[in-house]
Amino acid sequence: MPARWPPGRGNISAVSLPEQSQTQPPQDHRSFQAVHPVSGEPFGPAFALTPPAEIEALVLAAAKAAPEYAGVSGQRRGAFLRQIAAQIEALATEIVAAAMSETGLSEVRLRGEVGRTANQLRLFAGIAEEGSWVDARLDRPDAARKPAPKPDLRSLLVPLGVVAVFGASNFPLAFSVAGGDTASALAAGCPVVVKAHPAHPATSALVGEAVQIAARECGLPAGVFALVFDDGFEAGLTLVQHPAVRAVGFTGSRSGGLALIKAAQERAVPIPVYAEMSSINPVVFTEAALKRTDVAQLAASISGSGGQLCTQPGLLFVPEGETGDRFVAALGQALSGVAACALLTPGIQAAYRSGTAAYAGHVAVTTVQGQETENGLYHAQLYQTTLEAFGAAPELAHEVFGPVSLVVRYDDQDCLSTVLGRLEGQLTATLHADPGELPGLERVTAALRERAGRLVFNGFPTGVEVGHAVVHGGPFPATGDGRSTSVGSRALLRFSRLLAYQDFPDEALPPALQSGNPLGLLRIQDGEATRDPL
C-alpha cells in the first residue's frame, strides 16, 4: 500500500491513505513519486495510480450517494464543512510540512493557505446553513385570470449531482482537494470526486484523510467524497467522460482546460467544465500614478509565491518619458533584490524558461532584469517593449507563468485603449490613476472592464478576498465560462440547476418552497423579496 508521506522528510509518521485507497493494487500496477521542485529528482514512496476499475467504483458510489446527499439539510452540510475545516487545522503541521517539501513554497505562505482553506469551508458552511442561496421563487395562482388561468409556480436551485474536481499545482490547499471547488460543490449538495495533483500527492492524501474523517463523523452517505491519484491525463479524462459525472471544476493550464472542455462536449450528454486557465492581468499606470506607486509592493506582487499566482501582474502599461523610465528602472532594481525561488513543477519550469527566452530573444523587446537560474532556483525577470510593437506581436500577450512581467510603454491613450480591447479575457485588470483623472480615462476603463472579471483601482491584483462580492472569473480564456466565479459565495451556483414545480400540493413540495416557509428563507414571492409565509 502506498504511504502518504515520504520518510525522512520531517518528523512525520507514515500512516495509511484515506479509506477508499486501502485496497492493495496489483503488483504490476504503475505508480509515481513526488518530484522535488529544486533538484527535479523523485523522492519519497510510490503512490499507486488509481486503476480504472477503482475509479469506476468510486464514481458509481458517488452517484449512489447523490440523491441522499442532495436531501441532506443545509444544517448537516454546514456541519460537514465545518468538521472538514477543523480536521485540516488539526493536521496543519503535517500538511504544511508535506506541502513545503513537495512545492517549495514557504511555511508562511502555506500556513496562510491552511487558514484560507478553513475559512472558505466555513463560509460555505454558513451559506448552506442559512439556505437562501437556492433562490426560491413563488408565484401565486389565479384561477380567474383571462384568457387563461395562472398556475401555481414555484422554483429553486437543486444540486447537479456528482462533481469532478482537479487539484491545482499552485495552490496545494485552497484550490485542491478541499479547496473552493470541493467546498462549494459539497455546500450545494453534490458528491465530489477529486483528482489529486501529481505535484503534491502526500499533501493531497493528508487533506483527503481530513475530508474522509469528517464525512464519517457526520454520518454522511458513503461515496460523498473520493480521491484518486494519477500522474498523467487518463484518470482525469475517465472522470470527465463518465456518464455519472455532471460537472467539472478545474484550475490549471490552458491546454489542460481545453482538453477537458473538449472531452465534456463530446459526451453523449455534455456537461459544464468550470475551468480557470490563463490570465496575464494587465495593469495600466498614468504618469501621475507613477509618482506615488509603491514599487516594492508591485515587485512583491510580481514575484510573490514565485510569481505562481493566477492573478500575478504579467503585463504593465507605463507611459513614455522620464518619469516612466525612472519607474521601470526602479522596478527592475527592486526585482533584482528578490531572492531566487523554486518553481512548482518541471512543466512550469520548462514553460518559464521558454517564455522568458522568447521575451529575451524578441527583436522588439529589451531586458530590464533577467538573471539566470541559480542552483535550480529562478530569478524574477522584467522586460520592456513599445505599444506599437506589442500591438503587432500577439505572442507577447501570452501568459508566462512565474515571476516575470512585460512593460509596454505608451504615449497615446486612444491607441492604448485600442490595444487593451484586443487582449484576451483576464481574471483581473488594474488601473493606477488619480481619482480626478478617471473622467478622461473612460475608454481605457471601458476596455479593461470588457476584458476582465475584477477591476482593481490603485492596488495590486494578487490576493483574492474570499467573500460574497468577489468575482474570480473572467471572459475566455481566463475561465471556460465567464459567467461564473470559482471564489466566493456565488461559486456554488456552478453546481446547481433550476427546477420548477407547477400546481403541486404544498405538502409534496421541498421545504424551501412550502407556503409556510419553514426554513425561514429569503424568497421572491410574487416578485418581492421576503421571509414571510406565502
Active-site residues, by number, are 276, 310
Torsion sign (Cα): 49, 53, 59, 65: negative
Closest CA to 103 of 32, 8, 12, 173: 173
Let me know: does 184 contact 494? Beta carbons within 8 Å.
yes
Which helix H or strand E contains 303, and what residues bound it?
helix 295-303
d(CA 6, CA 42): 11
Report the DSSP beta bridge partners of residue 501.
Answer: 154
How far is C-alpha 125 from the geometric centre of its chain's CA atoms? 18
d(CA 157, CA 136): 7
Let me know: does 487 contact 472? Beta carbons within 8 Å.
yes
d(CA 136, CA 218): 27
Tell me which amino acid residue 462 is. Answer: T
From residue 207, how far is each of 13, 114, 192 by CA, in Å?
15, 10, 14
d(CA 268, CA 255): 23
Q: For residue 493, give every residue at least 6 positions away whose Cβ sits within 8 Å of its Cβ, in sequence order, or none.
A: 133, 157, 188, 484
Let me know: does 73 contact 520? Beta carbons within 8 Å.
no
In the chain, the N- to C-terminal Cα span, in Å, equals 57
From residue 139, how far is each of 133, 142, 156 by CA, in Å?
18, 9, 12
Characterize the bridge pairing of strands 153-159 and 137-139: antiparallel
- In the block, residue with C-alpha cell 496545494: 172
Closest CA to 77 of 415, 438, 506, 495: 495
Let me know: does 270 contact 264? Beta carbons within 8 Å.
yes
Before 151, cis peptide (omega within 30)? no
Q: Which three cell numbers stand for residue 511?
A: 421545504
Cα-trace Rg, the chain: 25
Residue 348, sorted as left (phi over 0), alpha (psi -120 to 50) or beta, turns out to be: alpha
